[in-house]
């Protein structure tokens, strides 16, 4: 199916006969592969006498193009670089690499069959429409030194998007990127390791890049994509390279100085800064004014004249109507 996608990625019509000849399969087999593409969220036009076409084509990830967009220094730091067409989850690939002894690595895929967001929620992403990637990393200072990591990652992604002209990106505690009040991306950080020693960290990222309108409507919350925020963006390979570059720079700073030095910068990007919010944890809710975060990345909520710190986990933040 990968070769079929490459052939159709130019956005032009290709007849079933032409595709079959190039793939070495029957026209019936081509039709079956087209059906499979549609189940992955790829919109394929079928016109009698003309063949098959993917409107606007596909901006497929390409390891060579990605590497060319990355600085030589950043390229040299990535021990593993894996691009796949379809996987269960890039976070799973990254975790397996760490458990096999890798120091770090980048794992990206066109489609995740079991992509997850925070609290086990499904991450909806049609084939080759968005960015789904995971960065595997090792930290040596213990679990406590990783407090505020997901907030730092959010800042890194925001800075990377700004470099490409995607402005006005806000951060929603603890791990969402918003624009115009709608979700642009999300982060899932998974950590394992020693309380005082080396820790294995997987940073999973999903960014909406070019979502079909029909898919946007299926998502249970207001969403937006990069294509809707900036015209003529440079494509998914350059976008991925820019985000990874920013992530590597931020991880260096975080490992040396922690989140505290980035706290004020995060406050400026806080989507709920000094606004009334509800904190939801299971059946428990508490209301108050969001006063930002502390040096450890905990959310500060002013309620009944008291300032209380709340940490991540199963807590969700909602703006009060």
- Indicate the DSSP class of residue 298: P
> Residues 50, 99, 121, 318: which is the catalytic one?
318
Q: What is the pLDDT of residue 217?
A: 67
How far, CA to CA in Å, does 55 sit from each of 13, 46, 52, 61?
A: 9, 11, 10, 18
pLDDT given at position 125: 76
Please indicate if the annotation marks 263 as binding a ligand.
no
Where are the chain's structural domains? Answer: 2-53, 63-267, 272-319
Kindly state the tokens that stand for 142.
């213990």
90 annotated binding-site participant: yes
Phi then psi for residue 260, to 5 deg, are -55, -35
How many CB atoms lie under 10 A from the CB of residue 38?
A: 12
Q: Where are the beta strands (DSSP E) in 1-104?
A: 45-47, 51-53, 81-87
Say if residue 116 carries a ligand binding annotation: yes
Question: What confidence tens digit (pLDDT) does each residue in 8-36 have?
Answer: 888 999 988 999 899 999 999 999 999 98
pLDDT of residue 37: 86
Q: Confirm whether 263 is a catalytic residue.
A: no
Instruction: Give the CATH class of 63-267.
Output: alpha beta
Splitting the chain (321 residues) into consecutive groups of 10 residues, what average pLDDT does each group show?
Answer: 86 91 91 88 88 90 96 94 94 96 96 67 76 96 92 98 95 96 95 88 96 70 91 92 98 96 97 95 91 96 94 84 68
Contact 135, 203 (CB under 8 A): yes
| pLDDT computed for residue 122 by the predictor | 60
Q: Count CB neighbours of 222 within 10 A.
A: 11
- From the candidates 118, 158, 263, 291, give the one annotated as an active-site residue: 118
Q: Considering the candidates 53, 158, 172, 183, report the single residue annotated as catalytic.
A: 183
183 is catalytic: yes
pTM confidence score: 0.91
Domain 2-53 fold: Arc Repressor Mutant, subunit A (1.10.10)
Is 63-267 the same fold as 2-53? Answer: no
* CATH no. of 272-319: 2.30.30.100
Closest by CA position to 2, among listed 86, 63, 95, 70:
86
Those residues whose C-beta lies under 8 Å from the C-beta of residue 71, and which sit 6 or more positions away, are 245
Find out whether 91 is annotated in a ligand binding site.
yes
**Residue 172 is a catalytic residue:** no
Tracing tokens 């800075």 back to the chain, one arrives at 159
């Amino acid at each position: 199916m990968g070769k079929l996608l490459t052939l159709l990625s130019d956005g032009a019509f290709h007849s079933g006969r032409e595709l079959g000849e190039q793939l070495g399969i029957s026209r019936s087999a081509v039709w079956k592969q087209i059906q499979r593409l549609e189940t992955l969220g790829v919109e394929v036009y079928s016109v009698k006498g003309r063949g098959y076409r993917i409107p606007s084509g596909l901006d497929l990830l390409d390891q060579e193009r990605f590497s060319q967009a990355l600085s030589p220094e950043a390229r040299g730091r990535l021990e593993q670089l894996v691009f796949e067409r379809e996987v269960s989850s890039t976070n799973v690939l990254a975790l397996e690499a760490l458990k096999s002894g890798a120091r770090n690595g980048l794992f990206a895929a066109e489609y995740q069959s079991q992509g997850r967001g925070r609290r086990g929620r499904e991450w909806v992403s049609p084939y080759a429409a968005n960015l789904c990637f995971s960065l595997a990393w090792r930290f040596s200072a213990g679990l406590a030194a990783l407090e505020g990591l997901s907030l730092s990652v959010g800042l890194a992604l925001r800075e990377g998007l700004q470099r490409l002209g995607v402005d006005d990106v806000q951060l929603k505690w603890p791990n969402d990127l918003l624009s115009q009040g709608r979700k642009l991306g999300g982060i899932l950080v998974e950590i394992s390791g020693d309380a005082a020693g080396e820790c294995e960290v997987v940073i999973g990222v999903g960014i909406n890049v070019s979502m079909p309108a029909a898919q946007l409507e299926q998502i249970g919350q207001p969403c937006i994509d990069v294509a809707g925020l900036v015209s003529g963006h440079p494509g998914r390979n350059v976008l991925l390279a820019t985000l990874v570059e920013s992530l590597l720079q931020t991880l260096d700073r975080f490992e040396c100085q922690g989140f505290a030095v980035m706290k004020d910068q995060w406050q400026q990007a806080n989507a709920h800064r000094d606004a009334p919010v509800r904190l939801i944890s299971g059946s428990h809710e508490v209301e108050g004014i969001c006063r930002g975060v502390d040096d450890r990345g905990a959310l500060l909520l002013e309620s009944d004249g008291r300032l209380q710190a709340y940490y991540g986990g199963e807590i969700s933040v909602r703006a009060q109507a």
